[in-house]
Structure 1
Amino acid sequence: MNATTAPTSTSTAATAEKDSTTTSFSSLHTDIIEAHILPRLDGATLATTSCSSTTLRHLSSQDHLWTQTCHSTWPSTRSSRVCQVISTYPDGGPRSFFAHAFPLLEEGRSSSKHSSSAPPPSELISAVDIHYQDKIIFSKVQETETVTGWFRCSPFRIDLLEPKDVIPTPIKQPDGDDTCTVIFKDMTLSWILIDPIRRLAVNLSSHKPVTVQRHWLTGEVQVRFASILAVSRGHVQCGIVVTCCVSEEGEMMQMREISLDIEDMDGMHKNGKECLGILHRAMDGKRGKGRNRVEEGHRRYKEYLEMKKERRERKVRTEGTLDILCVAFGVSCFVAFLCFIFFR
């Protein structure tokens, strides 16, 4: 009897323990979940949590919770100008803004019905945040007008720093190229471009650097973040460059350039009018999964470099063939002229 009943008792105890573990979270008061648990989650985890149950979906949909998430993820969103846009954002306010600004765009071209009918944005707001080892080292909001002829005809470029401005950083001067790459991998950047009229946003950064290059003579370090966008004739690169130089003391690095531009696969910079159309379609485009954005961003950038290399090689081959044809045509014309002279 004892041998028979012992397993039953053990099984009952294990079942009770399992039940208590299973129901422990659901037995918490909603005030505790809302005030002490959900605010500690990052945006991606919070979005996943909202899919767990009806109660958690309701609690995770509160505007104040997503506003706090946006502010903690991107300190630049605390500015009054960006807060005004987020508060009036359609389909969920700050939650919808986070869903637009956090993940990468999908690789396919925009299929939005409004992308061709709606006019391009008349103004762009850049909300930029740079972190190093999870600590904010730079945050700025800048408005760019897009209606003047100068903007539309000139190469598209947004600079966040004046030529003589420098921003100190806690980054120590690297000893070599390998050390340089390792150190700057701890830097993350977010560049959210916002259309305040249509209430749309897109993050043009790869979150982490795709390349880190150090100039052998000056010691300046160029950290590049990039986002690859599909267009009607191939792809374009939205390149974000952070240039760091050694401080006067010679120990720490400081940022002296933070800029955004867009170039095609031939390395030609697009003008403002062309870029407005590209960014207009990008803001309307679908978003991918946010958790793999670093790996996905690096993969797309490597594929883009391969496409550029193949395009360049194909162009060289085509030019070589044309050169041969031109030489052959010139020789044939010369021979024909000689024949005409001597045999007429």
Structure 2
Amino acid sequence: MITFTAPPSATTASTAEEDSTITSFSSLQTDIIEAHILPRLDGITLAATSCSSTTLRQVSSQDHLWYKTCHSTWPSTRSPSVCQVISTYPDGGPRKFFSHAFPLLEEDRSCSNLRPSSPLAPPPSELISAVDIHYEDKLIFSKVQETETVTGWFRCSPFRIDLLEPKDVIPTPIKHPDGDETCKYIFNYMTLSWILIDPIRLQAVNLSSHKPVTVQRHWLTGEVQMRFASILAVDRGHVQCGIVVTCAGSEEGEMMQIREICLEIEDMDGMHINGKGCLGILRRAMEGKKGKGRNRLQEGQRRYKEYLEMKKERQERKVRTEGTLDILCVAFGVSCFVAFWCFILFR
């Protein structure tokens, strides 16, 4: 008796091939994976790899891998003050710090992404800013600055952090603007990261949109102003954390120089918020939910455009309200005037 056996199907062959691939990858020594494969991954890919299997999770959770990831993503984190904060970070050290500092805040129109902090928790006595600017994937500026927040001057004055002194300039590879092409090039190839760290509570948040939301050139002076922004929801609407980078031409060559790098926070009416008010906003932002980290470029620009639309609608409502009040005031004045003359004529 002859028995015919069906040939293996394509699905069976494919499954066998996948099993062979999985077996061959699993057969790699842990040292090879840790020393030659995982260090080549960026933070997002490294985090995804840790979810693949128990072995990869154990290997990819090593602190030295995440220290390397943080330092390559943000060179400013090599500073001793920032390294000290990262080393004492709870629940994962540098891995936890990366999950706080990389993504944008998760958008929540109900403002629950900025839940009120405990009323007993005092505001931070110090803030650490870790700032990095890249142009065409090359680092052109990196600085760590500590800002005290306990003086009355800080709490009562408009919140502002300046990274450069008035006479400081930073050379850049950016050429003098030649029409709109240079501004478009800056818009596409300049990136900025501004990580604000609370060294007491060991919390951090990235306040930058990564790429500029606007690039404007002054028609008279030729200065180019780049704005990076993060929109935060608060109880009474939204606020803008705006990071302004101003470049101007140098007298010695064709390349431009950075003259100003500052962080400010303003409300929807364009009013700058004082230090005391900003401390509460920043504290809630650090405690808020973080996004997944993907598509942060488009997400940051989309939120800024929506913020401008909301700001425009708010201003239009304000104008209409003021116009209505003006009409009522005029009508009331006319009524009083008529009543007065009627009283004089018919008494």
The match for 1:335 is 338
2:161 is the counterpart of 1:130: no
Does residue 148 (structure 1) correspond to residue 151 (structure 2)? The answer is yes
- CA distance in 2 between partners of 1:133 and 1:53 (Å): 36
RMSD of equivalent CA atoms: 1.9
1:153-205 deviation per Cα after TM superposition (whole angstroms, max 9, x unaligned): 00000000001111001112221124312333200000000001111111000
Bigger drift between 175-184 and 226-235 goes to 175-184
User: Unaligned 5+ residue runs, structure 2?
Assistant: none
Equivalent position to 1:205, from 208, 233, 243: 208
Instruction: Show the counterpart of 2:29.
Output: 29
Deviations 1:12-53 (A, max 9, x none): 876654433343322211111000010111111111110110
Kept after mapping to 2: 8 A contact 1:115/1:284? no
| 3-state SS of paired residue (1:25) | helix
Q: Deviations over 1:262-293 (max 9, x none)?
A: 00000000000000111011111110110121
Query: TM-score normalised to the size of structure 1?
Result: 0.94
Kept in 1, the 8 Å contact 2:127–2:148? The answer is yes
Query: Equivalent residues in 2 for 1:35-46 (5 A)?
Result: 35-46=35-46
Corresponding position of 1:68: 68
2:99 matched residue in structure 1 = 99
| Counterpart residue type for residue 263 of structure 2 | L
CA distance in 2, matches of 1:113, 1:174: 45
Name the aligned partner's letter for residue 21 of structure 2: T
For residues 176 and 289 of structure 2, what CA distance do their matches in structure 1 show?
A: 40
Size of the aligned set, in residue pairs, is 341
- Structure 2 Cα separation of the partners of residues 86 and 324 of structure 1: 60
Amino acid at match of 1:316: V
**79-88 vs 105-114, which moves further:** 105-114
Q: Which residue of 2 aligns with 1:265?
A: 268
Match of 1:291, SS? coil
Distance verdict in 2 for CA 1:121–1:319, change over 3 Å:
same
Instruction: Work out the CA distance in 2 between the residues paired with 1:110 and 1:18.
Output: 42
Flag structure 1 segments of 5+ consecutive residues without an equivalent.
Answer: none
| Matches of 2:342 and 2:259, distance apart in 1 | 67
Cα deviations by residue, 1:107-142 (Å, 9 ceiling, x for unpaired) = 233465754431110000000000111111100000
SS of equivalent to 2:133: strand
Structure 1's 154 and 27: CA in aligned 2 closer, same or farther, altered over 3 A?
Answer: same
* Aligned counterpart, 1:309: 312
Is the alpha carbon distance of 1:178 and 1:337 closer, same or farther for their aligned partners in structure 2, counting shifts above 3 Å?
farther
Q: Does the 8 Å CA contact 1:238/1:260 hold for their aligned counterparts?
A: yes
3-state SS, counterpart of residue 26 of structure 2: coil
* Structure 2 counterpart SS, 1:24: helix
Which residue of 2 is the match for residue 255 of structure 1? Answer: 258
The normalised TM-score by structure 2 is 0.94
Secondary structure of residue in 1 paired with 2:330: helix
Output aligned runs, 1:156-235, within 5 Å.
156-235=159-238
Counterpart AA for 1:42: D
Distance, in Å, in 2 between the alignment partners of 1:277 and 1:310 is: 26
1:86 aligns with 2:86: yes
Aligned residue identity for 2:104: L
Q: Higher mean Cα deviation, 227-236 or 114-123? A: 114-123
User: Secondary structure of the equivalent of 2:25?
Assistant: coil
Q: Tell me if the contact between 1:87 and 1:94 (Cα under 8 Å) persists in the aligned partners.
A: yes
Q: CA deviation at 1:9?
A: 10
CA deviation map 1:45-92 (0-9, x unaligned):
111110110001001111111111111100000010100000000111
Contact 1:174 1:183 in 2 (8 A): no
After the TM superposition, which residues 314-325 of structure 1 pair with which residues of structure 2 at under 5 Å, given as runs?
314-325=317-328
